[in-house]
Amino acid sequence: MAEILLGVTGSIAAYKAAELASSLTKAGHAVHVILTRAATQFITPLTFQSLTGQAVYTDMFAEVQVHDVQHISLAKRADLVLLAPASANLIGKLVGGIADDMLTTVCMAAHRKRTLLCPAMNTAMWENPVVQGNVAKLQALGVELMQPREARLACGDVGRGALAETADILARVEEMLHDAP
């Protein structure tokens, strides 16, 4: 059983993260979900808590019952960090070293952990040279990338930017866990 941190950002594709969380939990993994504030506009923490049986994290400064520096303890126990869907905002923050919420702070503390980045955004955003440069910088730092797929997007456009298929993400997670040093 692996400890997986699932970071979910504000994207219509956030509903697919629930399927990822459920499938990973059914496969025997402990899935710890961190939602950005924007993600909670698309899907609720209760959904993930119900699917994983674990606490869901949304707030850096939430009151805790036991002393625990959560962003550090979550990072330490993670076998893998899965960022799905990863917005352009999250990608930019990670490249810039910005740690201003629970997810980015945990990611900064988990920089030594294997990380799988699964972007989801509008095609124009995905193709933006700044976003492409940021993704390349993360890859140079060892972050693994699952390319977004081409599909009809929430805005009605057709192009690359849709979250990779759930089955493909799950297969890559299992490969990364199996190949872990």
Question: Who's near 181: CB < 8 A, 6+ residues apart?
Answer: none
pLDDT class of 181 with cuts at 50, 70, 90: low
Q: If we measure between CA atoms, which residue out of 83, 68, 161 comes closest to residue 118?
A: 83
pLDDT > 90 fraction of the chain, expressed in percent and rounded:
81
118 is catalytic: no
Per-residue pLDDT reduced to its tens digit, 46-73: 999 999 999 999 987 665 555 455 657 7
Question: Active site residue: 155, 158, 167, 171, which one?
Answer: 155
> What contacts 47, CB < 8 A, 6 or more positions away?
18
Cβ neighbours around 148 below 10 Å, total: 22
Q: Are the CB atoms for 58 and 33 separated by under 8 Å?
A: no
Domains of the chain, each with CATH number or no CATH: 3-178 (3.40.50.1950)
Q: Which helix (H) or strand (E) holds 170?
A: helix 166-178
